[in-house]
Amino acid sequence: MAKESKGDEFVKQADKRLKAFSLFGGGQKYEDAVDLYAKAAAQYKASKEWDQAGDAYVKAAELSEKNLKDNTSACSHYVDAAKAYKNSSPKDSVRIYKIAVQLHMDDNRFSTAAKLWKEIAQIEEKELNVKDAIAAWTKCADCFEAENQASSANQAWLKVADLSAQEEEYKQAIQLYEKVAQSSADSQLGRHSVKDYLFKAILCRFVMEAKAGDCKTVSETLEKYKDRYPTWDGSRECKLIEGCLQAFNADEVDKFTELVYKYDQISRLDAWTSKVLLDIKTILKEGTDDAASPDLT
């Protein structure tokens, strides 16, 4: 028979304390039980028994919330439970984080709620649940905006935009990149990043329009950005889009490739940007291949 662990001992003590009769009301016994469940969870954590640790923290949280009406303590225990479950059961971790988030939002603690939504979003991303990650990042951004924390909100909106583009939800991605660009243009610290957001927005438009076979709106968007944002006009990013658009319209695959290569030699392209440019090049190449090999049937 396996030896009972210290965590198991504390759980048994907590269970026993809850069953005890209290002459002066149940408040004290609930406080004692919460303390014992928390001690049990700490012991389970020390031995990396993550599910048991999470279960013990949840018991402490539920007693704090429902019996002691102490939401602050309940939130703390729920978060500790979610962190424990994160090591063994991401799905349970998300479920418990959401309980804590709701309590924080009910108590008007939107900044803290936003940070927990961020935790949820990162778990969903790691689990490749892209749609759920987008939903969590969106709630994270909304909560930061509720607290007028524009910089933190923008970082969350950028995650929504990146993941939306990954899912080929280009219209939503464009809208969000432009939203962050506008917000950053009004900030002394964020102004230097505006061209990066516009670059991603117009790349989304480029690939979207290339798939539709008409890139007219890409040219119109280029001019709109030049009028609104002085830092965009003349930037290397703007010149790359202009050159690639000309190459695309002229069916010049080699020219398109050369422009991207030269840009990459000076400013390394990240994986996201490289993929979008490759998608556009693939569409261009397929078009020129079709033109070179007409259907003779």
Write out pLDDT tens, residues 56-104.
999 999 999 999 999 999 999 999 999 999 999 999 999 999 999 999 9
In a domain, residue 190? The reply is yes
In a domain, residue 162? The reply is no
pLDDT of 289: 59
Structure tokens, 193: 């990043």
- Residues 6+ away with beta carbon under 8 Å from 37: 10, 11, 14, 56, 57, 59, 60, 63
In a domain, residue 262? The reply is yes
In a domain, residue 189? The reply is yes
In a domain, residue 176? The reply is yes
In a domain, residue 21? The reply is no
Mean local confidence (pLDDT), 110-130: 98
- Quickly state the pLDDT bin for 295 (edges 50, 70, 90): very low
Q: Encode pLDDT of 214-273 as tens digits.
A: 899 999 999 999 999 988 999 999 999 999 999 999 999 999 999 999 999 999 999 999
- pLDDT above 70 covers what percent of the chain? 94
In a domain, residue 148? The reply is no
Mean local confidence (pLDDT), 197-201: 97
Structure tokens, 249: 């319209």
- Quickly state the pLDDT bin for 187 (edges 50, 70, 90): confident
Q: Encode pLDDT of 5-52 as tens digits.
A: 899 999 999 999 998 866 555 689 999 999 999 999 999 999 999 999
pLDDT at 111 over 90: yes
pLDDT of 288: 64
Q: Structurally, how many domains does the chain consist of?
A: 1
Q: Where in the sequence is the domain holding 266, given as residue range(s)?
A: 168-290
In a domain, residue 198? The reply is yes
Q: What is the mean pLDDT of the chain?
A: 92
pLDDT of 22: 64
- Quickly state the pLDDT bin for 297 (edges 50, 70, 90): very low
> Does the model's pTM come out above 0.85?
yes
- pLDDT above 90 covers what percent of the chain? 85
Q: Encode pLDDT of 125-175 as tens digits.
A: 999 999 999 999 999 999 999 999 999 999 999 999 999 999 999 999 999
pLDDT of 13: 95
CATH classification of the domain holding 231: 1.25.40.10
